[in-house]
Amino acid sequence: MRLPLFPMREQKDAKKKLIEDLGEFALIDHLTQGFLKQNDSTYLGVGDDAALIDINPSEYLAFTTDHLVEGIHFDVTYVPLKHLGYKAVVVNLSDLYSMNAIPEQISVSLAISSKYTLEAIEAIYDGVYEACQRYGVDLIGGDTTSSQIGMMINVAAMGRVKKNQVTRRSGAKEHDLICVSGDLGAAYMGLQVLEREKAVFKDNPDIQPDLAGYEYILERQLKPEARKDLISWFSTENILPTSMIDISDGLASELLHLAKNSKVNCRVYEEKIPIDPQTVGAAETFQINQTTAALNGGEDYELLFTLDQKHFDKIRETEGIYIIGHVVDSTEGNYLITNSESAVPLKAQGWTAF
pLDDT at res. 13? 56
pLDDT at res. 351? 47
Q: Of residues 1 and 283, which shows the higher confidence score?
A: 283
pLDDT band, residue 17 (cuts 50/70/90): confident
Q: What is the distance between the alpha carbons of residues 143 and 55, in angstroms, rounded to a whole number?
A: 25
pLDDT of 133 above 90:
yes
Q: Indicate if 177-345 has the same CATH topology as 19-165.
A: no
SS (H, E, C) 223-246: CCCCCHHHHHHHHHHCCCCCEEEE
pLDDT at res. 209? 86
Among 46-55, 113-122, 243-252, 291-300, the minimum mean pLDDT is found in 46-55
Strand pairing category for 265-269 and 335-337: parallel
Average the pLDDT over 149-155 and give the result: 94
Average the pLDDT over 289-311 and give the result: 97
The CATH topology of domain 177-345 is: Phosphoribosyl-aminoimidazole Synthetase; Chain A, domain 2 (3.90.650)
pLDDT at res. 345? 96
pLDDT tens-place string over residues 257-282: 999 999 999 999 999 999 999 999 99
Q: Of residues 202 and 241, which shows the higher confidence score?
A: 241
> What are the residue boundaries of the structural domains of the chain, listed by start?
19-165, 177-345
In words, the CATH class of domain 19-165 is alpha beta
pLDDT at res. 47? 79
163 Cβ partners below 8 Å, 6+ apart?
Answer: 58, 59, 60
